[in-house]
Amino acid sequence: MTTRKELVEALRERYRSAAFGDRIKILDEFVALTGYHRKHAIRVLREEVATAKAARTRNRLYDEAVRQALTVLWEAADRVCGKRLKALIPMLVDAMERHGHLDLDPVIKTKVLQVSAATIDRALAAARLHIDGQRKRRKGVGAAIRRSIPVRTFADWRDPPPGFFEIDMVEHCGGVKTDGDFVHTLTMTDIASGWTECVAMRMREQMLIVEAFDKVANVLPFAMLGVDSDNDSAFMSQSVFDYCKGHGLEQTRSRAYKKNDQAWVEQKNGAVVRRLVGYGRLSGVDATNALATLYASSRLYINFFQPSFKLKSKTRDGARVHKVYFTPATPCDRLLAHSSVEPAIKEKLKAQFKGLDPVRLLQAIRLAQQTLSDLAAHGMRTEAAPVGAADVATFVASLSSAWKDGEARPTHRKQPKAKHWWKTRVDPFADAWPVVDGWLNAEPTVSAKELMARLAAMVPDVYASKAQLRTLQRRVKAWRAERAKEMILGRLRKSTVMPAEV
């Protein structure tokens, strides 16, 4: 724009003073350089340059006095919005003047009564900003992309063919979210078959999501037709939008704060991701690679050997909802039974199913889970040895008694905690125990209640309430057990030493 203005200023005088033929040449060159329409170029070159532009001043109808009055009324109205305050001002002004709380000048009162709701909001913007401390979030590219993506609710799916996925991300932050880059899982669930793909991502980033789409598309037995996500900014991004548009994918989104719109993938977040990975904290390249290894085995085990329920119908009778489900089936079985899946894909699935060993897959899952458990607990990775035929036989033999050891998934086992050896309370007999020990040595059969009574009489300020009796009973019991142990050990020593001396 600056270059065009400089060009106009340089050619304007030449154009005016030039002859008719030269003007045509100058005009042709000017149009070619600027791209202006010819008529517009003539007007620009003929335009008179203003010597000085008068500063534009806004005629402010509502001055500081009106703003102060509006502030008082806004506070008296408990800080309602401009539209509500506009409707309340006549009544509020009348009530406050009637009770002597307000005395407005007639001119200011007239302006306050005729001010619009938009002007009220502009006048009170500084006060609201001072209270909130932040401006309204600016709407950028993400908001424009979000508006261009249609909304799809849970009731809009009907009965789609295989290829339409619900997608979501799970963050492995170890419970309460804290700052930092943690490993994420991108979960993709097919609506028609329940086929689930999980991809490990180093962090939450839109380009990694695009790479995950490519990775899933290369291993899927059927084509991707569409993706449905929530309103996460990583999904509502230019990269994901361009990828879906370039690959012919139908991109939709759920309603904000309506997780039921993504019931299929939300269910898999718990039944697949959390069941496999648990709730440990994972971060770094090693954890990402270990999680990817786990998903490489689990995707085959889940999609070929894990039957799942699928809702058939749902009827409501008052507050009661009656649900009917299809017979449990694996995602592979649903694909084989679906009429829209091509016969070549079905034959490929059957051949792949025959070559899979569920026991080996489960053993690989357990080994990968052990690696993830070590990373989550200690931050270091243990290299798993290659699985041989003997190891598989041992693993099969252990299945019959694995229930005796409790939790079989290493990612869900409770990590051992440090032994609690320190005291959390002050010893109430720290100063008095030498005296109590002397009483016990003199009278070994004396009761703890009698000792407590003696202490209460000796130090009434500390032991008058006798609240420490139960603690004293435990200490006396431990003292007597220690003395009995010393007597037994002492007799044993004598019995072993005396024959040698004789």
CB 383 within 8 A of CB 312: no
| Helices (H) then strands (E): counts for the chain | 22, 7
Looking at residues 415-437, what average pLDDT do you find?
Answer: 81
Looking at residues 474-499, what average pLDDT do you find?
Answer: 73
CA distance 149 to 236: 9
**DSSP secondary-structure letter at 272?**
I
Q: What is the pLDDT of residue 448?
A: 92
Looking at residues 392-396, what average pLDDT do you find?
Answer: 86
Task: Please name which of 65, 110, 63, 117 lies closest in space to residue 88, comparing C-alpha atoms.
Answer: 117
Q: Tell me the DSSP string of 284-334.
A: SHHHHHHHHHHHHHHHHHHHHH--B--EEEEEEETTEEEEEEPPPB-HHHH
pLDDT greater than 90 at residue 139: no
Q: What is the pLDDT of residue 500?
A: 44
CA distance 331 to 336: 9
Three-point CA angle 428, 429, 430, nearest 5° = 100
What residue has token string 């979000």?
Answer: 146
Angle between helices 106-114 and 64-76 (to 10 degrees): 70
Question: Residue 499 — pLDDT band, cuts 50, 70, 90?
Answer: very low
Q: What is the pLDDT of residue 486?
A: 80
Average pLDDT value for the chain: 86
Pick from 51-55, 92-96, 251-255, 400-404: least confident: 51-55
pLDDT greater than 50 at residue 498: no
The token duo for 315 is 């009827």
- Distances 3 to 6, 9, 11, 44 between C-alpha atoms, Å: 5, 10, 12, 14
Looking at residues 56-68, what average pLDDT do you find?
Answer: 72
Question: Residue 88 — pLDDT band, cuts 50, 70, 90?
Answer: very high
Task: Please name which of 332, 337, 336, 396 lies closest in space to residue 362, comparing C-alpha atoms.
Answer: 396
Q: What is the pLDDT of residue 21?
A: 85
Q: What is the pLDDT of residues 200-209, one digit of tens each?
A: 999 999 999 9
- Which of residues 276 and 424 earns the better pLDDT score? 276
Looking at residues 183-192, what average pLDDT do you find?
Answer: 96
Task: Please name which of 140, 303, 310 lies closest in space to residue 237, comparing C-alpha atoms.
Answer: 140
Task: Please name which of 61, 48, 54 lies closest in space to residue 16, comparing C-alpha atoms.
Answer: 48
- Which of residues 29 and 228 earns the better pLDDT score? 228
- Which of residues 491 and 197 earns the better pLDDT score? 197
- Distances 289 to 127, 284, 286, 293, 294 between C-alpha atoms, Å: 52, 9, 5, 6, 9
Q: What is the pLDDT of residue 3?
A: 66
Pick from 246-255, 360-369, 378-387: least confident: 378-387
pLDDT greater than 80 at residue 370: yes
